[in-house]
Amino acid sequence: MAESQGAPAQGSAEAAASPEQKAQMEQAYAQMRRKMRMTQLDEEIKHKVMVLSGKGGVGKSTVSVGLALSLARQGKKVGLMDIDITGPNVPKMLGIEDADLHVEDGQIFPAIGPHGLKVISMAFLIEDPDKPVIWRGPIKLGAIQQFIGDVAWGELDALIIDFPPGTSDEPLTVSQALPGIDGVVIVTTPQDVALLDSRKSINFAKTISLPCLGVVENMSGYTIRGSAEPDSTISVIGPTGTPIEAQTDSDGAWSLTLDVFKSGGGAAAATELEVPFLGALPFDPGIVRGGDDGVHRIIAEPDGPTAAAFDAVVTNVLAELDGSNRPSVRIS
Ligand SMILES: Nc1ncnc2c1ncn2[C@@H]1O[C@H](COP(=O)(O)OP(=O)(O)OP(=O)(O)O)[C@@H](O)[C@H]1O
Ligand SMILES: [Mg+2]
């Protein structure tokens, strides 16, 4: 009867909707599509790890790139997402800042770095790298959500996510938008204040209900080498002004590791805060050169001590992820 009284026939509900209702429907569809993509992302990406620090400049981006490269050179399928929208420097560190992102069917295809590493960074979307990008909060967070929902990562063993310093909106937004994040790796430097910064980051992980996979101490000791009389003792003045002695071997070679920024702050922070210590990365001027030249230390010196230190950290991270190390600390 209703039909004979002029009610809209089935299928024409959309036609009868007001522009406002149409916009609402479109928004609901878009949200549904994004939700489906997020679920798919969770299934396709085995492990998702966020790299955070309480303080800027401690080496988060260097460590994120290093962890990703170390995993990728083991033959794993790895993605690296650079969430630092105002100062994205991951592509430069990998020498792929001129890469163009490929977009197809509304999906963004990542740039490809060394060892097949898939990279997404806001840097690819910025026309003039010298111009500061000023994003107001909601626009920035919207861009991040889009980043997450619209990237065609494909199947990955691991996705490493690099953040700007601090525990601001970005990690919160990512943790809400991306399901199934395994946990947080905290990067710190060796000084005593590291404890304070690490505590902040661990508390932040707690507030967003993510496990802390552990602490990495970056810019740990700096190793110097030389040669002198075989089987003798040499002495150098250390960073604190006191002499440090080393023995030469039968060929006259000696090496000494100097604690430029002290050492052990990361391990102490991990012990005190009862989270795993994932290892120390040496202070290596080659890392600075590599960051500027776009050739990460792992690529420039794959058999060197810095690459080995990254591999050791990755072994510990994987053990935490697989639960084969000490039980992962889930802070609730
Ligand atoms: N182990 C290291 N040895 C020597 N230099 C390092 C080491 N790790 C990082 N650096 C240098 O320190 C500087 C800061 O590193 P990086 O950009 O990775 O820090 P960040 O924590 O990501 O900084 P931001 O907080 O600005 O994002 C860079 O010049 C980098 O080359
Ligand atoms: Mg950074």
Retrieve residue 208's tokens.
Answer: 């967003």
What's the pLDDT band for 57 if we cut at 50, 70, 90? confident
Q: In this prediction, what percent of the chain has a pLDDT beyond 70?
A: 87
Ligand 1 neighbours, Cβ below 6 Å, are 53, 56-62, 84, 87, 89, 164-165, 218-219, 281, 283-284, 287-288, 291
DSSP strand E in 99-211: where?
102-104, 107-109, 111-112, 118-121, 156-162, 183-188
Please indicate, yes or no, whether residues 60 and 114 belong to a single structural domain of this protein: yes
User: Does the residue 24 lie in any domain?
Assistant: no
Please indicate, yes or no, whether residues 130 and 228 belong to a single structural domain of this protein: no
The rounded distance, in Å, linking the Cα atoms of 244 and 256 is 8
Comparing 15-24, 72-81, 177-186, the range with the smallest average pLDDT is: 15-24
What's the whole-number mean pLDDT along residues 223-246?
A: 85
Which DSSP string do the residues of 78-103 spell out, in sequence order? Answer: EEEEE--SSS--HHHHTT-TT---EE
| Predicted confidence (pLDDT) at residue 1 exceeds the cutoff of 80 | no
| Predicted confidence (pLDDT) at residue 7 exceeds the cutoff of 70 | no
Give the pLDDT score at 242: 80
What's the pLDDT band for 2 if we cut at 50, 70, 90? very low
User: Does the residue 19 lie in any domain?
Assistant: no
User: Does the residue 266 lie in any domain?
Assistant: yes
User: Does the residue 162 lie in any domain?
Assistant: yes
Please indicate, yes or no, whether residues 188 and 216 belong to a single structural domain of this protein: yes
User: Does the residue 48 lie in any domain?
Assistant: yes
The rounded distance, in Å, linking the Cα atoms of 260 and 258 is 6
Give the pLDDT score at 309: 96
More confident residue, 100 or 311: 311
The rounded distance, in Å, linking the Cα atoms of 273 and 117 is 33
Please indicate, yes or no, whether residues 213 and 228 belong to a single structural domain of this protein: no
CB 80 within 8 A of CB 160: yes
Ligand approaching nearest to the C-alpha of 188:
1
Please indicate, yes or no, whether residues 306 and 189 belong to a single structural domain of this protein: yes
Please indicate, yes or no, whether residues 216 and 79 belong to a single structural domain of this protein: yes
DSSP strand E in 248-317: where?
253-258, 277-282
More confident residue, 241 or 114: 114
Comparing 62-66, 98-102, 194-198, 314-318, the range with the smallest average pLDDT is: 194-198
| Predicted confidence (pLDDT) at residue 11 exceeds the cutoff of 80 | no
Average pLDDT, rounded, for the chain: 85
**Residue 231 is part of which domain span?**
222-258
What's the whole-number mean pLDDT along residues 231-253?
A: 86
User: Does the residue 9 lie in any domain?
Assistant: no
In a mutational test of the pocket of ligand 1, which residue from 287, 296, 298, 306 has the highest number of ligand atoms less than 8 Å from its CB? Answer: 287
Give the pLDDT score at 84: 85
Please indicate, yes or no, whether residues 292 and 166 belong to a single structural domain of this protein: yes
Residue ending a domain, among 205, 240, 258, is 258
Please indicate, yes or no, whether residues 84 and 215 belong to a single structural domain of this protein: yes
More confident residue, 300 or 256: 300
Length of the chain: 332
CB 182 within 8 A of CB 158: no
HSE of 69, CA atoms in CB hemisphere, 13 A: 25
Domains contained in the chain, number: 2
Please indicate, yes or no, whether residues 299 and 155 belong to a single structural domain of this protein: yes
At residue 85's C-alpha, the angle toward residues 47 and 186, to 5°, is 45
Please indicate, yes or no, whether residues 115 and 247 belong to a single structural domain of this protein: no
Ligand approaching nearest to the C-alpha of 219:
1
Residue ending a domain, among 213, 239, 258, is 258
DSSP-based three-state secondary structure for 320: helix
Give the distance (Å) from ligand 2 centre to CA of residue 58. 8
Please indicate, yes or no, whether residues 146 and 245 belong to a single structural domain of this protein: no
CB 250 within 8 A of CB 230: yes
Amino acid at the residue 261: F
Please indicate, yes or no, whether residues 227 and 119 belong to a single structural domain of this protein: no
